[in-house]
Amino acid sequence: MSLLAGKKALVFGVANKYSIAWAIAEMFKQEGADVGLSYAIPQLEKRVQPLAEELGVTFVEKCDVTSDDEIDAVFEKAGAHFSEIDILVHAIAFAPSNELEGRFYNTSREGFRVAMDISAYSYVALAQRALNLMPNGGSMVTMTYYGAEKVVPHYNVMGVAKAALEASTRYLAADLGPHNIRVNAISAGPIKTLAAAGIAGFRKMLGYVGERAPLRRNIDQEEVAKTALWLCSDLGSGVTGEIVYVDAGYHILGMPEPPEKWE
Ligand code: NAD
C-alpha cells in the first residue's frame, strides 16, 4: 500500500544526500507522492540536481528563504507545476558558525536576527504561501531540536530560534486547522549533516546522546523520514500542533546517566 499515492509534496532544505529533507523526499517518493524540491543557493544546484534526477523529480527550484520575492516565485512556479499541493516540508535552519560556539551571552544582534529569520520565520513565510495551494487541506512539517527546551552546549541562539519555531508550529496549527491543514514539528536527535557540522563539539554531542538515550544509540535520517511519513499521510489525520520526538528517547531523561554507571 502506498501511503502517499496521489499526494503532492514540496520539500525545502535539500543540500546533499545527507540532508534530512533528502531522506524525506526519498521516502515520500517511494510511498507514491509527486515530489518537488527546493534548495537555498546556486552553488547547491550541482548536488541537488543529480539527486533529483535519481528520484525522477522534475520540479527543482532555488529559493533563499530570506527573500520574499524568491519565496513568492517558487510558490508561483509550484502552482503552475502542481496546481495544488498536499504536503509542505520545511527542513531549513541557519546561524552564523561563530554563534554556535562559546557562550550564548555573546550572541550578536545580527546573529540573533539571521538565526530567527532563516530558522523560524521562514516556516511561517512558507506556510502562508502554501495555504493558497492547499484548498482541500494538507499537512506541514518542520524540523526542530531539544535545544529549544533545554540548554545544550553551543546550540546557543539556534535553541532560541527552535523555541520560536516550535511556538510558530502551534500558532500555525491553530490558524490552519479550520482549513483542514495540520502543522507539526519533528524534534530529531543529533544526526551528522551539513547543518550539524556547524555546531562546535557536535561529535561529542553524538557520542554523549548515543551512550545515554534509552535505545543506547543515535537515530538516522530515515527514522525522521518515517515519522514525517505518518505525520503527512492519513495515518496522522488526527495530529496537529505537536512536537514529535525522534531521538531514541533521549528527551525523557531527567538524569541522563546510564544506570550501569551506578552499578
Ligand atoms: P542540512 O544542512 O542538510 O539542511 C539544512 C538546510 O537548510 C540546507 O539545505 C540549507 O541549504 C538550508 N538553508 C540554510 N539557509 C537557507 C536559506 N537562507 N534559504 C533556504 N534554505 C536554507 O542539515 P539537516 O540536519 O538536514 O537540517 C535540516 C533541519 O533539521 C534543520 O532545521 C535542522 O536544524 C534540523 N535538525 C537537524 C538535526 C541534526 O542533528 N542534523 C537535529 C534536529 C533538527
Give the pLDDT confidence of 175-234 residue by residue, as tens digits. Answer: 999 999 999 999 999 999 999 999 989 999 999 999 999 999 999 999 999 999 999 999
Residue 62 main-chain phi, psi, to 5 deg: -80, 140
Task: Kindly give the distance from the C-alpha atom of residue 187 to the centroid of ligand 1, in angstroms, as a whole number.
Answer: 13
End-to-end CA distance of the chain: 47
Write the class of the CATH domain 8-248.
alpha beta
Mean pLDDT of 51-65: 97
Domain positions in the chain are 8-248
Output the pLDDT for position 260: 79
Mind giving me the DSSP string for 109-178? HHHHHHHHIIIIIHHHHHHHHHGGG-TT-EEEEEEE-GGGTS--TTTHHHHHHHHHHHHHHHHHHHHHGG
Is residue 263 pLDDT above 80, yes or no?
Answer: no
Give me the residues paired with residue 185 across strands. Answer: 142, 243
Distance 258 CA to ligand 1 centre (A): 30
Ligand 1 neighbourhood includes 143 CB (under 6 angstroms): yes
- Mean pLDDT, the chain, integer: 97
Q: Is 195 in the pocket of ligand 1 (CB under 6 A)?
A: yes
> Does residue 185 sit in helix, strand or coil?
strand
Helices (DSSP H) in the chain: which residue ranges? 20-30, 45-55, 68-82, 109-116, 122-130, 156-176, 194-197, 202-212, 221-232
Question: CB of 47 closer than 6 A to ligand 1?
Answer: no
Whether the pLDDT of residue 262 is over 90: the answer is no
pLDDT digits (tens, 9 = 90+) for 19-46: 999 999 999 999 999 999 999 999 999 9
Centre of ligand 1 from the C-alpha of residue 13, in Å: 6
Contact between residue 186 and residue 246 where contact means Cβ atoms under 8 Å apart = yes
- Contact between 35 and 25 under an 8 Å Cβ cutoff? The reply is yes
Q: What is the pTM of this model?
A: 0.98
Cα of 59 vs its chain's centroid, Å = 19
Binding site membership of 74 for ligand 1 (Cβ less than 6 Å):
no
Residue type for 138, please? G
